[in-house]
Amino acid sequence: MRFRIESLGHHVPPHIQTAADLSARIGRSEEWILSRTGVAERRVSEEPMHIMAAHAARAALGDGPPPDLIINASLTPIQLIPDSSVFIQQALGTEGIPSFSVHATCLSFVVGMHTAGALLSAGAYERILLVSSEQGSVCRDFEHPESAALIGDAAAAAVLTRTPDDGDSELLAFGMTTWPQGASLAELRGCGTRKHPNDPDTSPGDNLFHMQGPRIYKMTVRRMVALYRQLLEEADLAPEDLDLVVPHQASGPGVAAIARFGGLEPAKVMNIVGEYGNCIAASIPLALQRAHAEGRIERGSTVLLLGMGAGLSVAGALLRW
Amino acid sequence: MRFRIESLGHHVPPHIQTAADLSARIGRSEEWILSRTGVAERRVSEEPMHIMAAHAARAALGDGPPPDLIINASLTPIQLIPDSSVFIQQALGTEGIPSFSVHATCLSFVVGMHTAGALLSAGAYERILLVSSEQGSVCRDFEHPESAALIGDAAAAAVLTRTPDDGDSELLAFGMTTWPQGASLAELRGCGTRKHPNDPDTSPGDNLFHMQGPRIYKMTVRRMVALYRQLLEEADLAPEDLDLVVPHQASGPGVAAIARFGGLEPAKVMNIVGEYGNCIAASIPLALQRAHAEGRIERGSTVLLLGMGAGLSVAGALLRW
């Protein structure tokens, strides 16, 4: 697929919650938080996801023309009906632009980018706004220290277009696999028909996020290594050909593992988890925006987006930028 | 885009709730229900959406090979995390197949089909399972007679592939517009961050579906007429060239309006709303499956899928079958 990310934008809420701030609330020391999750700071938003999304989208759109499609690629919804993409468009102050959501938990941006790329390649749209915005802090369960210490709020957006005739940007390889046997390893059991909010059997804990980090890690690593090798092989590349890997910022140990199994110097793996925590679907585009702003990616660079999400799914997209 | 719907499947739950059954519960007469909503019967499922989805998916897949992508195109989720597509795959008994959701409320199937078509056209996948399954009955508010009387449960699925070289199947035209000024006309305010289930300000009514039928109708009809004309113009077709229109089964009056503004004989507009009610995203594929089973669609037929959804959005897809 010949498409490119034309521009990126981001928004991080101003309020910083440090490991020290969180320590008393989750009954664990600052050292425990840092060693288990690697998250020194995370942002906590007072604005809902659609307002954060609009901040990030405006930064990505800049002075350019409006998009002809808006794809919301976020986990945390504003409400069940209508779709959150409508509220993002409302916050942007536009109307008439088709909008919908792609949902693959933490992998929503990667899957949304693949979807947007296919729609551009097929000539269905010309200029797609893809935005991931997460207010996951609302769903933290402070009785579950590990997951509560991981999550942070942020938004990031990308404008995607078809690659011009004289450009080299393209998707070199894409892969995804989903493994329902891991469905219970990262869960928010509420907010659907299984544990409807009005059902007396639904407990407050059902409406909060829980995960089993070590079991996820164990189930993921083998599948992610296989995917990583497959993507490189498909593109006929070696690890040293990669200019940058932008992984999902799942956790400090999770990001560190990428360089290890990938045969990469740590400097080639974007790591912002200590500063922002796990921002769910916004983690990958937030790290991508940072890398781009720092000049670590330019046209022609070989960039791998790689991640895992609840489900359990692993996915990766290898791009010539 | 050159893709085709290779096969279809459906599932309707066995339990029938008639207008007479519902009458006492919503404090309105059978006649009131029939004249306002046109829904004589609706199904109410005791099985959750992923089980219904698997029934429909198995029917669509038949003896064919497994899909290489599963797209869930439904409104009602099982739970917030992981994505409902994972539970559908779990119910199908498969593993490793990439899966995600496309969410555009009642238009999810139409948008999911467009997305799937683009992914097939781009060569990303070969055989996509697209499934819409709705247990909206769980979200009925019996204090809101009109919306409570509309909703029914059902599931339907389609297998999509690229059109073979000697085939004529293709997407002749597609259009969608989204109008956030209609965001409050069809709402379920809960199940997200705005009215989190654990927030003491969230009331039971926030977790149920409400709509303002007459205002939606007024806001929709002009936009749908414009879209209808645009799609025909793009494909260089006249209304009489359409073999069948498969509209969203929004309500009896809503479906009846299509023939009127479309300049079509009523027999050319699929109408199953009296029998099944508004099955949210499953309505269009359920009606499509019925039309196909009855021999009203065959290869080469010109078929228009047309609908509206909360948001407010209108969308249409004109297919050479």
Q: Quick one: closest CA in A to B172, which residue?
A: A124
- Cβ separation B85–A119 shorter than 8 A: no
Q: Give the pLDDT confidence score for residue A92 in this predicted structure.
A: 98
Neighbours of B50 (CB within 10 A): 28
- Cβ separation B81–A310 shorter than 8 A: yes
Q: Please say whether the beta carbons of A4 and A321 come within 8 A.
A: yes
- Cβ separation A101–B102 shorter than 8 A: yes
- Cβ separation B115–A118 shorter than 8 A: yes
ipTM associated with this complex: 0.97
Reported residue count of chain B is 321
User: Which residues of chain B make contact with A76, given a CB cutoff of 8 A?
Assistant: 192-193
User: Which residues of chain B make contact with A85, given a CB cutoff of 8 A?
Assistant: 104, 178
Q: Which two tokens stand for residue A183?
A: 């469905």
- Cβ separation B86–A117 shorter than 8 A: no
Q: Give the pLDDT confidence score for residue A12 in this predicted structure.
A: 98
Q: Give the pLDDT confidence score for residue B107 in this predicted structure.
A: 98
Could you give all domains of chain B from N- to C-terminal order, each with its CATH number? 3-162 (3.40.47.10), 170-320 (3.40.47.10)
Q: What average pLDDT does this structure show over A9-15? A: 98
Question: How big is the CA angle at A167 (ends A163 and A171), to the nearest 5 degrees?
Answer: 55
Residue ranges of chain B with per-residue pLDDT less than 50: none
**Beta-carbon contacts of residue B187 (< 8 Å; ≥ 6 apart):** A79, A81, A82, B209, B210, B211, B310
Q: What average pLDDT does this structure show over A141-159? A: 95
Average pLDDT, chain A: 96
- Cβ separation B99–A313 shorter than 8 A: yes
Pick from B48, B6, B12, B5: nearest CA to B282: B12
Spatial distance between the Cα atoms of A221 and A37, rounded to a whole number of angstroms: 17
- Cβ separation B310–A198 shorter than 8 A: no
Q: Quick one: closest CA in A to B111, which residue?
A: A100
Q: Quick one: closest CA in A to B204, which residue?
A: A198
Residue A244 pairs in a beta bridge with A303
Spatial distance between the Cα atoms of B97 and B117, rounded to a whole number of angstroms: 18
41-100 of A, contacting B, C-beta below 8 A? 48-49, 70, 75-87, 89-90, 95-100
Spatial distance between the Cα atoms of B14 and A29, rounded to a whole number of angstroms: 55
User: Which residues of chain B make contact with A48, given a CB cutoff of 8 A?
Assistant: 193-194
Q: What average pLDDT does this structure show over A12-32? A: 95
Instruction: Convert the pLDDT of each residue in A56-79 to its tens digit.
Output: 999 999 999 999 999 999 999 999
Record the pTM: 0.98
Q: Give the pLDDT confidence score for residue B35 in this predicted structure.
A: 93
Q: Give the pLDDT confidence score for residue A71 in this predicted structure.
A: 98
Q: Is residue A174 exposed (0-12), middle (13-18) or buried (19+ Cβ within 10 Å)?
A: buried
Residue B314 pairs in a beta bridge with B177, B308
* Least Cα separation, residue B260 to chain A (angstroms): 24
Any chain A CB within 8 A of the CB of B302? no
Any chain A CB within 8 A of the CB of B186? yes
Q: Give the pLDDT confidence score for residue A47 in this predicted structure.
A: 97
Q: Quick one: closest CA in A to B191, which residue?
A: A191
Spatial distance between the Cα atoms of A287 and A282, rounded to a whole number of angstroms: 9
Any chain B CB within 8 A of the CB of A230? no
**Beta-carbon contacts of residue A163 (< 8 Å; ≥ 6 apart):** A2, A3, A4, A169, A170
Q: Give the pLDDT confidence score for residue B276 in this predicted structure.
A: 98
Spatial distance between the Cα atoms of B129 and A224, rounded to a whole number of angstroms: 24
Q: Give the pLDDT confidence score for residue A231 in this predicted structure.
A: 98
Q: Give the 3-state secondary structure of residue B212.
A: coil
- Cβ separation B186–A98 shorter than 8 A: no
Q: Give the helix ranges, DSSP H, for B151-190.
A: none
Q: Give the 3-state secondary structure of residue B238.
A: coil
Instruction: Convert the pLDDT of each residue in A178-236 to its tens digit.
Output: 999 999 999 999 999 999 999 999 999 999 999 998 899 999 999 999 999 999 999 99
Q: Which of B103, B174, B189 sits opposite A101 (nearest CB)?
A: B103
User: Which residues of chain A make contact with B178, given a CB cutoff of 8 A?
Assistant: 70, 85-86, 89, 95-99
Q: What average pLDDT does this structure show over A284-306? A: 98
- Cβ separation B75–A81 shorter than 8 A: yes
Q: Give the pLDDT confidence score for residue A311 in this predicted structure.
A: 93
**pLDDT band at A254; cut points 50, 70, 90:** very high
Spatial distance between the Cα atoms of A242 and A281, rounded to a whole number of angstroms: 23
